[in-house]
Structure 1
Amino acid sequence: MFSTPAVVASCVGFVLIGVLQALYGPAIPALRDAFGLSPSAAGLGLSAHFIGGVAGVLLFDRLHERLGNRRILGTSYLLMALGAAGFALAPNWPAGIAAALLAGLGFGGIDYGLNQLFAVGFGHRSAAMLNILNAHFGIGAILGPALIAAVGAEHYPAVFLAFAAANLPLVLCLRGVRDRAPQPASGATGTASTAGTTDPSGTTGAEAGGSALSRSLASVLAVFVTLYVLHVGIEAGVGGWEPTHLETVGYGAGAAATATSVYWLMMTVGRFLVAPIALRHSAQTIITVSCAGMTVCLLLASVPWLAPYAYAGVGLFIAPIFPTGLLWLNVAAPRARRAGALVIAASMAGGVAAGPALGKAIEWSGVRAVPLLLCAVSALCLLATLWLIRATRSHSPSP
């Protein structure tokens, strides 16, 4: 699927989408000064980015068969570049929101396109390569705020323009991407063991079991979507509320901010660390251990003196779930072509919904309950994973 330069360019592409997502927050003070915005109005830039991201995933999934991989990725890089440049040069805030939406559209196309290609493009190494790819997103998410801090928030237009220019050389590397992904073999589906059987009435196994398999596939996809919404909700919830929780239990603002940075760093490190593990262990095993470890760490985070270290552990354990889950989904439902787009879009929706949902729960229970609330959500992730293991095993072809 990829030449070596195309693999490198894809990793750079994920650094860039990590940078883009992380630029909006640090730019908020300057945006408020430039356009006279309230905090909630300034936050609409990131919301528009996520809305564009969901739309980009779903749109490019619909157009994938018609356009092919190279045109999907090339168009997405150009949309990100145009949106970022438009955001930098926007004369007013409505224009800035429209530009963020446009950049988000390209963001969604890159997120969807490269994740799907890496899930099928490296054979038994796909899980490892997916984790490496998504680790580069974390590198970008760390670099984005650092860039704004280095130049000053008031110079955010220069950073966005530099980001826009950085997208353009990647378009030249798309020749090394195969335009069409290989189709899954028919035996890879759960219908393999029933497709050729016939009962005494002359009805084939495929005809008799097709409806049940369709219902089963729908259930599997629904639980995968649930797993993605919940785990991204935890990811965003820890990132958003860890500083507040730590300050509430007695830590200083600087220590709380540093601990949150360590959480994001551990998420990036975790994806690099799991790459060699993914060559020896199944996606199911990795995600089960990840969900269990995440649940334990969130429970420990309710103990004040353990909290910073426990949150770092959450980052380490949550790291492999997103990329490794995509490979598991691709194996469990190889013929459900839109399954990957659905769960990637769901992950973005989970990030959007996490803030208001967790905020309401905290209003009821108090800030000290943040780790316990997230622990309950993590336990649901573990239950969803165990259900998926059972469901996908029951429909695997016999050896």
Structure 2
Amino acid sequence: MTDQPTAQRVTAPQAAPDAPVFSTAAVVASCVGFVLIGALQALYGPAIPAFREEFGLSPSAAGLGLSAHFIGGVAGVLLFDRLYGRLSNRQILGASYLLMAVGAAGFALAPNWPVGLAAALFAGLGFGGIDYGLNQLFAVGFGRRSTAMLNILNAHFGIGAILGPALIGAVGSEHYPAVFLGFAVANLPLLLCLRGVRDRAPEPGEAMKAEADGRSVLGRSLGSVLAVFVALYLLHVGIEAGVGGWEPTHLETVGYSAGVAATATSVYWLMMTLGRFLVAPIALRFSAQSIIMVSCAGMTVCLLLAAVPGLAPYAYAGVGLFIAPIFPTGLPWLNKAAPQARRAGALVIAASMVGGVVAGPALGKAIEWSGVRAVPLLLGVISALCLAATLWLIRTIRPAAPR
């Protein structure tokens, strides 16, 4: 998969082969950017009571704010993937930050709900551009350290997702416009750090050549490999969202108080963030496929243990720890396995967003049939599918034949 199509390779100035993709300041700014997109995604939920009252919305209508954000995110991933053939990395990232800022400010100042939804869609477009753009550039920009750096980058998303609701809780949901405006302003200084981003990033095939681990995908298997990667991302993000959405209900159903259930869910998100920091040094010593295999196996065991009421809060924390590395670790593996499939990164990142959108309603339907107590078992089955997909990928991405 090529991060920069032919059109850009022709028009972009040639950088020295060993020129870094990011300066130190740009790496720090990218991590701050991920804190901001994590916070943005998490701001809508706690603000729902306030804009329900302001605009006279039903719960389902209020929930459309986050849906509009995710729809914009998927569109942003696909749109900015297309624009990488026409615009430089700096222009793509700059446009994404500006879209997030304008969308967040528009949501804060919206005079009515349709305008608010349009603003959330714009913010989502910028969110998708940053999510895709930085993940792709980190995946090819650090050589052997790419997996470690991706985990660190995505850990900052978790920090934002924790801080966003805490900020709304501290100031009160009725003051959500001020929080969204503050978020919009916080995006703007990051534009100054884009000078530290190299306009022509190395292509995945070029970046991985010196670091290759001697594995390749058979040509006839490429389509199947991409499909299984997409399925892995769709399913594991569905588990991530499913635990985050249904853990409190499940814990209350099996006898825990609402306070304990809420705290345990916060610990789950905290462990996911911590897990990405912890796996960064591990990624320097072990392969991406080994990390993902262990993660899927551990996640499956923890979900099965969560069906035991006395172990459930601790088991859910374990799920957060094991699921943490899958998203950021899979991207370098995909780039090594199929560097010729340029759009693969966009497909799997879009799939991850779709997984977050469909997880709630799909799991809700399954729970209507099986009951709330079956939540960890249902998610455990999905986790087992993730493990099966990972094992299939390991077998299919075969050692390259010696020359």
- TM-score, length-scaled by structure 2: 0.92
Q: Does 2:243 align with 1:238?
A: yes
**Paired position in structure 2 for 1:144:** 164
Query: Could you tell me which residue of structure 2 aligns to residue 299 of structure 1?
Result: 304
2: CA distance between counterparts of 1:187 and 1:347?
A: 24
Aligned residues: 377
Match of 1:323 among 305, 318, 328: 328
2:148 alignment partner, one of 118, 121, 128: 128
Conservation of the 8 A alpha-carbon contact between 2:168 and 2:179: yes
Instruction: Look up the SS of the partner of 1:165 in the other structure.
Output: helix
Aligned to 2:119: 99
Of all paired residues, the percent bearing the same amino acid is 84
Amino acid at match of 1:320: P
Q: Is the contact made by 2:296 and 2:387 (CA closer than 8 Å) also made in structure 1?
A: yes
The equivalent of 2:356 in structure 1 is: 351
2: CA distance between counterparts of 1:188 and 1:272?
A: 27
What CA distance in whole angstroms lies between the structure 1 residues aligned with 2:379 and 2:370? 12
* Alpha-carbon distance in 2 for matches of 1:309, 1:15: 26
- State the Cα distance separating 1:311 from its structure 2 match: 0.1
The answer for the alignment partner of 1:342 in structure 2 is: 347
Do the aligned partners of residues 286 and 367 (structure 1) sit closer, same or farther apart at CA in structure 2, a change above 3 Å counting? same
Q: In structure 2, what is the Cα distance between the partners aligned to 1:397 and 1:260?
A: 47
What are the Cα deviations for residues 154-183 of structure 1, in whole angstroms up to 9, with x where unaligned? 000000000000000001100000011113
**What is the rounded CA distance, in whole Å, between the counterparts of 2:327 and 2:208 in structure 1?**
26
Contact in 2 for aligned 1:73/1:113 (Cα 8 Å): yes
Structure 2 unaligned residues grouped into runs of 5+: 1-20
Where 1:266 maps in the other structure, the secondary structure is helix
> Which of residues 390, 393, 402 in structure 2 aligns to 1:398?
402
Structure 2 counterpart SS, 1:393: strand
**Residue 117 (structure 1) aligns with:** 137
- Tell me, what secondary structure is at the counterpart of 1:378? helix
Return the match for 1:268 from 266, 273, 284.
273
**One-letter amino acid of the counterpart of residue 347, structure 1:** S
Provide the C-alpha distance between the structure 2 equivalents of 1:213 and 1:130, rounded to a whole number of angstroms.
27
Provide the residue aligned with 1:88 in structure 2.
108
For residue 230 of structure 2, what is the aligned residue in structure 1?
225
Q: Secondary structure at the match of 1:65?
A: coil
Contact 1:187 1:397 in 2 (8 A): no
The aligned counterpart of 1:155 is 175
Instruction: Find out whether 1:379 has 2:384 as its counterpart.
Output: yes
Q: Which one-letter code corresponds to 2:300 in the other structure?
A: T
Residue identity in the other structure for 1:270: G
Q: Are 1:257 and 2:262 matched, yes or no?
A: yes
The Cα offsets for residues 6-42 of structure 1, whole Å up to 9 and x where unpaired, read as: 0000000000000000000000000100000000100
Judge which range, 333-342 or 179-188, deviates more: 179-188
Separation in 2, partners of 1:257, 1:31: 23
Q: What CA RMSD, in Å, does the superposition of the two structures yield over aligned residues?
A: 1.5
Q: Among residues 314, 318, 330, which one is paired with 2:319 in the alignment?
A: 314
Alpha-carbon distance in 2 for matches of 1:397, 1:167: 48
Which deviations, in whole Å up to 9, do the C-alpha atoms of 1:160-211 show, x marking residues without a partner?
A: 000000000001100000011113249959xxx9xxxxxxxxxxxxxxxxxx
Dislocated runs of 4+, deviation >4 Å: 186-189
Gaps in structure 1 of 5+ consecutive residues: 194-211
CA contact (8 A) 1:228 1:343 kept: yes
- 1:79 is aligned to 99
Match of 2:79 among 59, 71, 79: 59
Cα 1:397–1:108 change in 2 (3 A) is farther
CA distance in 2, matches of 1:397, 1:254: 57
